[in-house]
Amino acid sequence: MNTLDLTKLPDYLKHQRWFSGKAWPIKHVTVIDHATIESGDCAFSLAVVEVVYELGSPERYLLPVQPSSEGVRDALESDECMRGLYDLIRTSGQVASGSGRVQGEWIGGQEGLLALPSPLSVRRLMVEQSNTSVVLGEKVILKIIRKLEAGVNPEHEVGRFLATKTSFRATPTLLGALHLEGTAGATLAVAHRFVPDATDGWKYTLDRLRQERAVGERFLTEMRELGMRLGELHLAFASATEEEPAFTPEPLLQEDLQRWSASIVGELGVTLADAARLHPDLEHRRESLIDYAKRLAQVTPSGQKIRIHGDLHLGQVLRANDQWILFDFEGEPARSFTSRREKYSALRDVAGMIRSFDYAEATVSLEGGTPHERVGPIRDAFVEGYKQVTRGAAFLPTDEGAFDIMLRAFELEKLLYEVRYELQNRPDWVRIPVSALLRMEAPQ
């Protein structure tokens, strides 16, 4: 294989959809590790590059690339190269890299070695994505992670735990992964079982809300079932023994509640300072919103901290064969791996999904539909399903009052995150969380 022209990398990166540093001047790009992967007719370089900006922290990206007449070409455009990456995972293969090795990990066992067509078909996903996913043989979905972070990747860690230590199956089974070991260590790719004919929960819910003026009993039953699946996921997380220290439940302490409360108050300050320029009415709500956070610190602690999904919304669930499937355990992209792996109150996931119902209703209203106040019944059905399967679970607060105060505080926390997320990514959408903040009445 010819050598890569490294001077072309900054320009190459700026033209990639998944590159998040487009707005910042790049000082330089250096290759910090790389391996040559050879498979059939394909040879390419799997390079980890560090992008150093004029301002701000450096970032690392994974570049599976080949030299081309323009300088650099994405090797993932070649089906053969994709097959090569999957083969490394399927065979638990390894390839030496400059300062370590690229290591495939197969956890699917014999059963996971699905009968795949030969040659293996490769279908690219036509969705807006921060990574690059392909469907192999219509049975496996391989996600190549673009922006790398050092440390334990939560999506791999959670997928592995659920597949090997629990009986929770309402998620696409993790089949394997590709890791870079050594000084630049990171998870490079994950392979899951592909769920055919699935619709994502966001699209599914929007379609239902567009069609139905009032939510019908069938949809409410589905939402109850969604709450039940989430409850079962939390029961699976909470089943971890001491042999899985990253998952073992821990008692919820007063200091946890105080820390979370203080963090929400801090986020409120930062978020209102940013958003109040566009929505000055928010300033008048500051004190009553702070009260929600303060009440969290005053709750008498009961229950446990457990691992949670961490970024649960309707876009993180699939609907297939009349069943709900929960996926994407990466956590909130803006947080570090360490913070995403922290144990937390399970009610944070419940709050995340409740916020999504409000988003869906608001989206339909913004399209011109009249708001029908359907969030209340949907929320009630979802929480009812959740409580039904988690009744008496050690990780939940024992007191109903505490349950409600905690849930409201986590809804506020998610709302503030959403305001910041939308200001940064989709400014036109910021009015959705802002109007929800304005509607939050002072706590009783």
The residue (of 61 and 292) whose beta carbon lies closer to ligand ADP is 61
| 67 makes contact with ligand LMANGFYV (CB under 6 A) | no
Q: Which residues bind ligand ADP (CB under 6 A)?
A: 125, 127, 129-131, 133, 141, 143, 172, 192, 194-195, 198, 200, 318, 327-328, 330
> How many CA atoms lie less than 13 Å away from 16 in the CB half-sphere?
26
Closest CA to 374 of 251, 270, 223: 223
Nearest approach in angstroms of CB 422 to ligand LMANGFYV is 8
Q: Considering only residues 421, 431, 438, 440, which one is a binding residue for ligand LMANGFYV as defined by CB under 6 A? A: 421
Minimum CB–partner distance for residue 203 and ligand ADP (Å): 9
Minimum gap (Å) between residue 333 Cβ and ligand ADP:
8
Distances (CA, A) of 273 to 99, 186, 266, 429: 45, 36, 11, 18
Nearer to ligand ADP, 62 or 396 (CB): 62
Q: Which residues contact 212 (CB under 8 A, 6 or more apart)?
A: 219
With CB under 5 to 8 Å by kind, the binding choice for 383 among ligand ADP, ligand LMANGFYV, none is: none
- Among 49, 209, 282, 314, the residue binding ligand LMANGFYV under the rule CB under 6 A is 314
Q: What SS3 state is found at 246? A: coil
Tell me whether the omega of the peptide bond preceding residue 117 falls within 30 degrees of 0, making it cis.
no
From residue 361, give the alpha-carbon distance in Å to each of 210, 214, 350, 375: 9, 12, 17, 7
Q: In whole angstroms, what is the distance from residue 1 CA to residue 56 CA?
A: 35
Q: How many residues does the chain have?
A: 444
In the shown chain, the binding pattern of residues 348 to 387 toward ligand LMANGFYV, with x for contact by CB under 6 A and - for none, equals: -------xx--x----------------------------
Is residue 313 a contact residue for ligand LMANGFYV (CB under 6 A)? yes
Considering the complex, what minimum distance in angstroms separates the CB of residue 421 from ligand LMANGFYV? 5
Alpha-carbon Rg for the chain in angstroms:
23
Query: Exposed, middle or buried: residue 71 (CB in 10 Å: 0-12, 13-18, 19+)?
Result: middle
Q: Which does 285 bind (CB under 5 to 8 A by kind): ligand ADP, ligand LMANGFYV, none?
A: none
Partner that binds at residue 332, options ligand ADP, ligand LMANGFYV, none, CB closer than 5 to 8 Å by kind: ligand LMANGFYV
- The strand pairing partners of 68, in sequence order, are 71
- 443 contact, one of ligand ADP, ligand LMANGFYV, none, CB 5-8 Å limit per kind: none
Closest CA to 17 of 48, 61, 49: 61
- Binding residues (CB under 6 A) for ligand LMANGFYV: these are 202, 311, 313-315, 332-333, 355-356, 359, 418, 421
